[in-house]
Structure 1
Amino acid sequence: MNKSLRSLLSVVAVSSLAACSLAPVYQRPELAAPAQLPGDTVAKPASSASAPAVAEVPWKQYFPDARLQGLIRQALDNNRDLRVAVLNVDQLRAAYQIQNADRFPTLNGTVSGSRGPSNASPYPLTTTVTGGVTVAAYELDLFGRVRSLSEAASAQVLASEEARKSAHIGLVASVANQYYALWADRWQLALTEQTLRSREEALKLLQLKFDSGVLNELDLRSAQSLVEAARITRAQAQRQWSQDLNALAVLVGGPVAADRLPPEPQLDVQTLGRSADSQGAAQAVLATLWPDLSELPVGLSSDVLLQRPDIAQAEQQLIAANANIGAARAARFPRISLTGSAGVVSDSLSGLFDDGRNAWTFAPSLSVPLFDAGRGKAGVDAALVKRDIAVAQYDKAVQTAFKEVADALTARRTYAEQAQAQLAQAQTEAARLRLSTLRYETGVASQLDLLDAQRSLFASQQALIASQLARQQAHIGVYRALGGGWVESQEGSQSR
């Protein structure tokens, strides 16, 4: 029995190793994008070979804020979208194992028995018991059909892993964006609160002047309008804070602890309220809003796009489509299947393994397609079209990635310029308010001129905070667009 079983398995193994492949030789398409990424005047080009790739910059290094790091870690542990991406990888790995198992014979241990009358007179009852190992309908993969299907399934697993990386990178960037949005919300709320207090105090003085008959009603109503406008802005800021906090809770997969929220703005309440010091307040917004993120190397070859997981995912899907062509071509060739068994047979179950006789069967079968009404050729044509679709999707992924990188670099440069100009405008409005206050106190300017200067300064300070947030998020956009955020530590270990 052992000799027969070894012979059967040897035939199967040799046939499997001798399988050829009808799949086309895979070649990576050329990048459907310009050879160089767009330049950036904010950062120095990364011309030296020692400059690290953005994809190799760990997120813990790029985001040094301990609060933000805690939020990112919480999101990586609890975010549902990322969990689904991880489970998709596990599902496709299991599917690959199932598909790859077809490359090897399935061995089953069986024991069967039968009892019935004999075919010869006087037709006595006989018992036959058989036990051993069977191989059922194992396909000899002479033309690589099964192997091509296994390679396609393997590529799908790799594509799902790249999709998980994309989800990881997107989650890290989204948490960082939401964190700084909350930080900006706190600044906007603090600015609005202090502006409201300042305007309420000014309104009290104007009300006294109006009651004394030294102020006309028009000036009083204008001041009241400014107070109500500040209340409207405060309500908007509170709503924005609450909505952004809820969005962050969804990203991190649970409640956000108070010690992981952005710090409270450190501004002198009275300084912000006094018009004479408004220029200093505007400067404080720039200096203490949040820590700047580091510049990233630019001016790189477009080959750096290959480090993006979405590009790698599209390439793996292309590899899978290429392998499916081989499976479709092999389906048009003859198939040889083997069914066999090796074991012992006895007249009784109790004597099966004591005095049983060796028994074996070997039943190969050959299936040759003669006429299928063009089904096989259509299968090959469909596989070729799917491969062409995968090539087009790969090209689109490259072009989309190039656009995202170009847009991110442009946004980083222009938002930096915008934030600088916004700061200059806030400082100019602060100086204008100071001069308007002096002119009003000396009787040269009217109350309406003073109120207009106050309104303009408040608007410019709000715009300054918004532009600083946009600049910070533009830096995050560059980091994300160039594939950063996947590596967790400086040692290059990857998070789960």
Structure 2
Amino acid sequence: MNKNLFLLPVGISVFLWGCALAPKYTRPEAPVPADWPKGPAYGEPVTAEGAPEPRAAADLKWREFFTDRRLQEVIGMALHNNRDLRLAAMNVERARGLYGIQRAELFPAVEAVGSGLKQRVPGDLSNRGNASTSERYDVNLSVFSWEIDFFGRIRSLKDRALEEYLATEQAHRSARILLVSEVARAYLVLAADRENLTLAESTLDTQKAAYDLVRRRGDLGLASELDLRRAQTSVDAARADVARFLQLVAQDENALGLLAGSPVPGEFLPADLGSVSPPEPVSPGLSSEVLLRRPDILAAEHQLKGAYANIGAARAAFFPSISLTAAAGTASSELSGLFGSGSGAWTFSPRAVLPIFDARIWPALAVSKVDREIAVAQYERAIQTAFREVADALAVRGTVDRQISAQQSLVDANAETYRLSNVRYTKGISDYLGVLDAQRSLYAAQQGLIAVRLSGIANQVRLYEVLGGGGD
């Protein structure tokens, strides 16, 4: 008999734990191909003989991926000072607190309550017909309206709060990865604009020398006024470019300072793209399943799990709600007799509420199911977006080396054309228009080469980001 009484609460607990009404979670199939795209644009990068195979981005810490020491310092500043990242971290703490509040609903809140009452009852309300004064003092340990979770409503709400907390934690990871990549991109753009500024200043010096040459030739009657004005246009255009790139460099430094959370010291700033150590190569793996490790996709999946739990809470609203109020302690008509012999007192008040007619219940269940479908669509869209981002980065990686090679060849050809044009003009074989056209073509080709080199390094950062890299 005693054994059965011992097993009874255990059985009730198991029964109650199994009464959750939330549907079983099943992960949706990823709506993307299992393999990465293949084709002429997705050529595999050549690994140098003896070099180690590239590692997966998610397994490569950002300090291992970014090999440039100065860039590492700037990223470290940003992770410590950036306000957006700080807000994301505080959102995680807030979500953790909300989960703790919801989880505490599963357990009774026990309170110590002391009270005193003194009242006078007039004679016409007294059973004895005489006015009387009465006193009552109580000290109790009490449980007020504790909902016993027979049908899993509170557990479902607790599970939803947990998934929202986990989603917020993944959102913080995603914000951290985004910040690391944004700092790297801003750093590379600054390096490219500083190189463009150096190029513009060099071009300005060259054009000034050319202008002086044409002016001297004009003084000797060997050059026309038209040639002199053409040379002047090149000088003015170069002066405008110097001013423009001075502006861009200043704005780039301001943008980098905003990301870093404070002005970046000059010793950490790059001189040009050539001074930046290239990042480590990363491997996308053989399967697109690696995308499921991205924090934004993990966050979307946690939101989907939370939507499943919300259905359980909506279903539980159709069943009775059972709550308990109880107290045990001591009571006396005199304060001095509170803890005397025979002053023990207790109350026990269970309460059950069964919904008979509530027009809100069915729509609430329908809304919870629609929310789940919305969460499914958002999860699938996150995977599709991630697949497209990786595919785009792989397309750039497969073609950028060819672009750099072609652009370098174009620069070399234009440099030789410019040299020959200058020789022909100096010897009086052709006019200054050929020199001007050759110089403009060379300048544009040199700027294009800087842009393509920037695109190649920035794409390495982009591939690392979209594959879920950026952790400590």
* TM-score normalised by structure 2 residue count: 0.91
Task: Give 1:202 deviation, angstroms.
Answer: 1.9
Say whether 1:300 aligns with 2:286.
Answer: yes
How far apart, in 2, do the equivalents of 1:68 and 1:14 lie?
A: 60
Q: 3-state SS of the aligned residue for 1:18?
A: helix
Identity percentage of aligned residues: 44
Identify the match of residue 379 of structure 2 among 375, 382, 394.
394
Task: Give the corresponding residue for 1:74.
Answer: 77
1:29 matched to which residue of 2?
Answer: 28
Alignment partners' CA distance in 1, 2:263 and 2:438: 42
- Please say if 1:55 is aligned against 2:58: yes
Find out whether 1:234 has 2:232 as its counterpart: no
Counterparts of 1:177 and 1:415 in 2: how far apart (Å)? Answer: 17
Counterpart CA distance in 2 for 1:407 and 1:423 is: 24
1:107 aligns with 2:110: yes
- Asked if the contact 2:66–2:278 (Cα under 8 Å) also holds between the matched residues in 1, the reply is no
| Match of residue 85, structure 1, among 76, 84, 88 | 88
Alignment-derived partner of residue 165 in structure 2:
157
* 2:314/2:368 contact within 8 Å kept: yes
The one-letter amino acid paired with 2:23 is: P
Aligned to 1:478: 463
The Cα shift of 1:14 comes to 5.7
Pairwise mapping of residues 81-480 of structure 1 onto structure 2 (< 5 A)? 81-117=84-120, 119-121=126-128, 122-262=130-270, 264-265=271-272, 288=274, 290-355=276-341, 357-373=343-359, 375-480=360-465
CA distance in 2, matches of 1:90, 1:325: 26
Tell me, in whole angstroms, the C-alpha distance in 2 between the residues paired with 1:255 and 1:463. Answer: 30
Residue type at the aligned position of 2:301: E
Per-residue CA deviations over 1:58-111 (Å, capped at 9, x if unaligned) read: 110111111111111111111111111111111111111111111110111100
Q: What does the per-residue CA deviation read over 1:354-373, in whole Å, with 9 as the maximum and x for residues that have no partner?
A: 45611110000010111113
1:18 alignment partner in structure 2: 16
CA distance in 2, matches of 1:21, 1:14: 14
CA contact 2:55–2:282 (8 Å) conserved in 1: no
State the match for 2:37 in structure 1: 38
For residues 145 and 153 of structure 2, the distance between their equivalents in structure 1, rounded to whole angstroms, comes to: 15
Look up the equivalent residue of 2:43 and give its one-letter code: T
SS in 2 for 1:70: helix
**Counterpart residue identity of residue 22, structure 1:** L
AA at the equivalent of 1:41 = G
Measured after TM superposition, the shift of residue 25 of structure 1 is 0.5
CA contact (8 A) 2:57 2:284 kept: no
Cα shift readout 1:274-312 (whole Å, capped 9, x = no counterpart)? xxxxxxxxxxx8xx3533223211352111000111100
**RMSD of aligned C-alpha atoms?**
2.2
Partner Cα distance (1:177, 1:330) in 2: 50
Distance in 1 separating the partners of 2:210 and 2:54: 56
Instruction: Give the structure 2 partner of residue 277 of structure 1.
Output: none
TM-fit CA distance, 1:347 = 2.2
Q: How far off its partner does 1:227 sit?
A: 0.4
Shift of 1:126: 2.4
Pick closer, same or farther for the CA change 1:404–1:359 going to 2, 3 Å. Answer: same
| Cα-to-partner distance string for 1:449-481 (whole Å, 9 max, x where unaligned) | 122212211111111111111111111110111
* Alpha-carbon offset, residue 320 of structure 1: 0.2
Gaps of 5+ in 2: 48-52
CA contact (8 A) 1:16 1:141 kept: no
CA contact (8 A) 1:415 1:474 kept: no
String of CA shifts for 1:228-249, please: whole Å, max 9, x gaps. Answer: 1101111111111111111111
CA shift for structure 1 position 11: 7.2
Q: Which digits, 9 at most, give the CA deviation of each residue in 1:191-243, with x for residues without a partner?
A: 11111012112211221221222211111111111101101111111111111
Q: Which amino acid aligns with 2:153?
A: R
Counterpart code for 2:22:
A
For residues 181 and 324 of structure 1, the distance between their equivalents in structure 2, rounded to whole angstroms, comes to: 46
The 2-side partners of 1:231 and 1:44 are apart by 42
Q: CA deviation at 1:434?
A: 2.3
C-alpha separation in 1, matches of 2:240 and 2:140: 84
Letter of the 1:218 partner, please give it: L
SS of the residue 2:323 aligns to: strand
The answer to whether the 8 Å contact 2:326/2:346 transfers is: yes
**Cα offset, 1:17, TM superposition:** 7.3
Q: Is the 8 A contact 1:82 1:164 kept in 2?
A: yes
Tell me if structure 1 keeps the 8 A contact 2:68–2:276: no
Find the aligned partners of 2:9 and 2:350 in 1 and give their Cα distance. 12
Distance 2:107 2:11 in 1: 8
Separation of aligned partners in 1, 2:198 and 2:454: 15
CA separation in 1, counterparts of 2:261 and 2:389? 27
Asked whether the 8 Å contact 1:43–1:295 carries over to 2, the reply is: no
The answer to whether the Cα contact below 8 Å between 1:203 and 1:220 also exists between their aligned partners in 2 is: yes
Say if 1:15 and 1:140, in contact at 8 Å, map to a contact too. no
Give a deviation string over 1:350-409, Cα, whole Å, max 9, x none.
332345611110000010111113x21221111111101100111111101111111111
Name the aligned partner's letter for residue 323 of structure 2.
S
Q: Which runs of 5+ in 1 are unaligned?
A: 1-6, 266-284, 489-496
Greater Cα shift, 387-396 or 74-83:
74-83
> Which residue matches 2:50?
none
